[in-house]
């Protein structure tokens, strides 16, 4: 006997997705209270953000105002660079999506010679939907999964760059403050991406079910394209992002050595954070 009936499952899945998205937005709102603006930072506690001393003492005579301004400048530069990289990568990934979607449609549709007639099911008695329509739905599912993955990657990148400077500013108050800011930012990314993927997949299954009806075999053959699209884009993001990050790391490290005579992995070089 199932713990949850069909109706309970139909209700629980979207509710979990919506709750996850709401929780992610709430965490983002809490993180956003850490202001990366000189006025807000300097107004409290005599320029020390309400605390009498810092975990790390100021270097080179930097006061609180200058620290916040510098963090804001660095965050803007990182955000612009990351966004530029993403949109450049998406141009090439978009071409791959179109070509691979055509390949999926041709290969799956040609199984029965692009026939529009129903075929006997493999794992159950009865007649399943034509292979041509399954190919069409699989292609649509692949594209939907790819788009979901690309949007998730974009949101993840924006959240990460949004939290960098805020975590740095909170680190002046102590390790605990910095950790909780970084942890909340990670929760935003994790809950938002997984919940949005769950909601999109739930909607896709129910839309496809309007055509397939009780043909569960054809339905879930079509839905597998969603995972293929999502994982394909994640692969590009993982490999491409890794190469981009390493190039930025090595380049910035070399600049620190040549122009500022800073040793490799020195904490004074921002490239050491990479």
On whether the CB atoms of residues 128 and 115 are closer than 8 A, the answer is: no
Q: What is the CA radius of gyration of the chain?
A: 25
Residues 14 and 182: their CA atoms lie apart, in Å, by 28
Is residue 230 situated within a structural domain? yes
Is residue 10 situated within a structural domain? no
Angle at 148 between CA 146 and CA 154, to 5 degrees: 105
What's the confidence (pLDDT) of residue 66?
Answer: 78
| Residuewise pLDDT in 10s, the chain (274 residues) | 567 777 788 888 899 999 999 999 999 999 888 887 755 444 444 444 444 444 444 444 455 777 788 888 888 888 888 888 888 888 989 999 999 999 999 988 887 777 777 676 666 666 777 778 888 999 999 999 999 989 988 888 888 888 888 888 888 888 888 899 999 999 998 898 899 989 999 999 999 988 888 778 888 888 999 989 988 888 887 887 778 777 777 777 777 777 777 776 676 666 655 5
What's the confidence (pLDDT) of residue 202?
Answer: 92
Question: How many domains is the chain partitioned into structurally?
Answer: 1
What's the confidence (pLDDT) of residue 102?
Answer: 93
What's the confidence (pLDDT) of residue 57?
Answer: 45
What's the confidence (pLDDT) of residue 56?
Answer: 42
Is residue 135 situated within a structural domain? yes
Residue whose token pair is 């530069």? 77
What's the confidence (pLDDT) of residue 46?
Answer: 41
Is residue 29 situated within a structural domain? no
Is residue 1 situated within a structural domain? no
Residues 165 and 231: their CA atoms lie apart, in Å, by 30
Residues 62 and 250: their CA atoms lie apart, in Å, by 27
Longest dimension (CA), the chain: 80
Range of the domain at 162: 63-246
Residues 209 and 220: their CA atoms lie apart, in Å, by 10
Is residue 216 situated within a structural domain? yes
Is residue 45 situated within a structural domain? no
Is residue 263 situated within a structural domain? no
What's the confidence (pLDDT) of residue 49?
Answer: 43
Residues 104 and 143: their CA atoms lie apart, in Å, by 11
What's the confidence (pLDDT) of residue 47?
Answer: 43
What's the confidence (pLDDT) of residue 53?
Answer: 43
């Amino acid at each position: 006997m199932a713990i949850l009936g069909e109706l309970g499952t139909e209700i629980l899945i979207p509710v979990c997705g919506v709750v996850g998205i709401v929780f992610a937005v709430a965490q983002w709102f809490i993180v956003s209270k850490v202001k990366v603006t000189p006025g807000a930072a300097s107004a409290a506690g005599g320029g020390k953000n309400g605390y009498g001393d810092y975990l790390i003492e100021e270097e080179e005579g930097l006061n609180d105002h200058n620290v916040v301004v510098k963090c804001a400048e660095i965050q803007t530069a990182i955000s612009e660079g990351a966004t530029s990289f993403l949109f450049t990568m998406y141009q090439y990934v978009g071409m791959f999506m179109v070509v691979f979607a055509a390949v999926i449609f041709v290969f799956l549709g040609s199984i029965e010679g692009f026939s529009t007639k129903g075929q006997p099911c493999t794992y159950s008695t009865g007649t399943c939907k034509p292979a041509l329509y399954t190919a069409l739905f699989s292609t649509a599912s692949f594209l939907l999964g790819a788009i979901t993955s690309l949007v998730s990657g974009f949101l993840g990148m924006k959240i990460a760059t949004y939290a960098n400077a805020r975590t740095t500013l909170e680190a002046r108050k102590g390790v605990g403050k910095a950790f909780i800011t970084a942890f909340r930012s990670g929760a935003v990314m994790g809950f938002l991406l997984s919940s949005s993927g769950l909601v999109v997949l739930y909607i896709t299954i129910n839309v496809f079910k309007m055509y397939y009806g009780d043909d569960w075999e054809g339905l879930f053959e079509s839905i597998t394209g969603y995972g293929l699209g999502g994982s394909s884009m994640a692969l590009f993001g993982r490999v491409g992002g890794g190469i981009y990050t390493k190039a930025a790391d090595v380049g910035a490290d070399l600049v620190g050595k040549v122009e500022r005579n800073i040793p490799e992995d020195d904490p004074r070089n921002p490239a050491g954070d990479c």
